[in-house]
Chains A and B, each alone.
Chain A
Amino acid sequence: MTIAPKAPRKLSMKARYSALTRDLDWDPSYVPAEEMFPYTTFEGITIHDWSKWEDPFRLTVDAYAKYQAEKDKRLYAVLDGFAQSQGHLSLTDASYLNAMKLFLQGVSPLEYQAHRNFAYLARHLNGPGPRFASLCQSLDEIRHAQTEIHTLSNYNKYYSGFHSYLHMHDRVWYLSVPKSFFDDALSAGPFEFLIAIGFSFEYLLTNLLFVPFMSGASFNGDLPTMTFGFSAQSDESRHMTLGLEAIKFLLEQDEKNVPLVQHWINKWFWRGYRVTALVAQMLDYMLPRKVMSWKEAFELYFEQQMMNGLFQDLAYYGITPPLHVDKAIQEKEYLSHQAYWILYQFSHAAAFTTSIPTEEHMDWLTEQYPDTFPVYRTLWEKERKNLENGGRHFIRGLPQLCQVCQIPMGFTEADEPFVQCQRESIYEGERYNFCSDGCKYIFDHEPVKFRQAWLPVHQIYQGNCGAADLPGVLQWYKMQPGDGGEYLGNVDNENWKTWHDMAETTGGH
């Protein structure tokens, strides 16, 4: 390891940062500043002095290139070793990869979109400090997209569901959840995007999204994913800093910014939180070897760090915790049960598989959720009987979707475990349905934006998805036999058994 330079640097970090960012900036003389930066006023945010934006990392372009190269080198060494040693056979079970299929289909394409939007910020923010931080983040995000695709491509050689992920991201019903989330941010102004992705997603929720995935990978023998995850997360700390700097900067620049920022926090907390429902079920149901429950992760990463840490800090500026956060806290007791129950009964139309939890798994869930899981256990007992009678709970139709988060409307009232929330608004004579007060709040502020939502169910019924019947729609999704449905007896499950029997019988020869 020869990273640290031997010779003492001529300039301190502070001086180098200043020389390589602010000193390279200039004031326009041929055009007015408003013409050079046309997108930083229409949202109603007031900035008096861009030079007040601090980047505590003091990252310069030479240091950036050096450390990113080192991160990639380390990752690719692990990828090669894993592929050469048939590492995929040492996973806990092939069903573990369902979490990774969701990740590749749902999250990696968002990294690419983040790359695009941060490139836009790197051009269009007025201050050189935030422009350079955005440029670094833009490069980080495309690195993440590429390393994730490289890492998971190894599994595509052996397992179903990994092919066509980009095509699926644009079309498939459950992937419209993360896609529409990010499209919402991409089509916002630069400041809303910073609060949406830079702050709410990267700072408030990133730990809930990434750390459980990566710890799950570590616990389930998936060394490459753990490595790309931690490699990406090491950039994430810079992204968190950009998000936090952004919010503090906006709040300090002008008091008039406070209500706008508060609204964006309300909106984007809930938008992001709804997407994390996919993570909740992954932690509690998809990982063969459990790391921690969603409830524990939520308490650790959100309640302890954000509610008890960050929001006390922001109270100084008059910012309060996001509206509807109470509902999210209540839901920690049952979010994962409801999310997995959705995926379980629609997995015949998905590119991942599901299966009924084993007794041992259900005992673990009861331990983690003593107040709520026993109620959901009765559902699985009913399904157990159904399976014994030759059934398998797959819905024979299409679900009602929320106009905002686009998730099938399976989330319940806090006080009634089996009664789904039904909310609606009527705008210009048309009715819109919502899964929660949080989603209704978002729609009610921007109905003209959200009425354009491309809801998969509504589009199928308009005949825009290849065919009117399920096989036709699945073909339009580019799904292949074996991609979805029940895990037990599925091609991945059968191959897994064959490969492991083979490994046992040929071992020692």
Chain B
Amino acid sequence: MTLQDTITPPPIQSIGEYSFPSRSAQELYGDDMLLHVWWKGNPWFVAAASFRAPQAMPFGAFWEALFVPYHEEDPDFDASKGWDQFDWFLVNGRDSTPITPSADATLADLGVSHKGVLGFSTR
């Protein structure tokens, strides 16, 4: 998936050729990506979590292996209620697009891409 650019920067002022690659580009993570997981409205976690995960990781496996061990540090979080206790969405600045996770859908299927923000909030 290629993302559409949202900015057009002004020309660079420099003493010579100035073009250097990103130090966080997706290629640097092989078949994995970085994703940010954000519990919107829960201040216990001061910032969204950042994980490295395969793009083809099914949501069920993500929940078990990454999501729960991180979030169960919040004494009010009850993993046994499953992911349906939350509304899920993809974040774009102040906007968001709702999504419906399922155990077999991969993170990529759900529309999560490198350095994207996967948001959720308590129902």
Contacts and interface: CB of A to CB of B under 8 A. Distances in A.
Within 8 Å by CB, do A and B touch in the complex?
yes
Interface of A: 38-39, 42-44, 189, 338, 341-342, 345, 379, 382, 385-386, 389, 391, 393-401, 403, 408-410, 413, 417-420, 422-433, 444-449, 451-455, 457-459, 461-462
Interface string B10-22: 1011110011111
B9 A431 contact: no
Given A338-B46, A379-B44, A395-B45, A430 B23 contact: no
B29 A426 contact: no
A459 B22 CA distance: 12
A430 B22 contact: yes
B2 A429 contact: yes
A458 B92 contact: no
B interface bracket (residues with beta carbon within 8 Å of A): 35 or more
Given A400-B38, A452-B20, A386 B75 contact: yes
Contacts of A426: 3-7
Given A446-B9, A451-B24, A461 B3 contact: no
B73 interface: yes
Contacts of B6: 424-427
B99 interface: no
Interface string B63-79: 00000011001011000
Contacts of B102: none
20 contacts: A38-B15, A389-B75, A391-B75, A395-B49, A395-B70, A396-B73, A397-B50, A398-B51, A399-B50, A400-B48, A408-B47, A413-B94, A417-B43, A419-B41, A422-B48, A423-B93, A430-B3, A431-B114, A431-B115, A462-B29
B7 A418 contact: no
B34 A461 contact: yes
B18 A448 contact: yes
A324 B39 CA distance: 26
A451 B116 contact: no
Nearest to B52: A461
B114 A396 contact: no
A461 B29 contact: yes
B85 interface: no
Which 10 residue pairs of A and B lie closest in terms of their CB atoms, listed nearest first?
Answer: A410-B46, A451-B22, A400-B48, A399-B47, A408-B47, A400-B36, A461-B52, A418-B43, A458-B24, A410-B47
A448 B19 contact: yes
A43 B13 contact: yes
Contact of A189 (B7, B13, B49): B13
A432 B10 contact: no
B53 to A, nearest CB: 10
B13 A419 contact: no
Nearest to A434: B93
B106 interface: no
Contacts of B5: 426-429
B97 interface: no
Given A400-B36, A426-B3, A455-B24, A433 B46 contact: no
Nearest to A343: B46
A445 B9 CA distance: 5
Contacts of A451: 20-24
Of A395, A400, A408, A428, chain B has the most CB atoms within 10 Å of the CB of: A400
Given A422-B38, A424-B93, A429-B3, A399 B43 contact: no
A338 B47 CA distance: 10
A420 B18 contact: no
Contacts of A417: 43
B13 A398 contact: no
A296 B41 CA distance: 28
A394 B45 CA distance: 10
A457 B28 CA distance: 13
B113 to A, nearest CB: 7
B91 interface: yes
Contacts of B107: none
A339 B105 CA distance: 37
Nearest to B51: A397
A398 B49 contact: yes
B49 A399 contact: yes
Given A401-B50, A410-B46, 17 more contacts: A42-B15, A44-B13, A189-B13, A379-B44, A389-B75, A391-B73, A394-B73, A398-B50, A399-B46, A420-B48, A422-B93, A429-B5, A430-B114, A432-B115, A444-B9, A447-B7, A455-B23
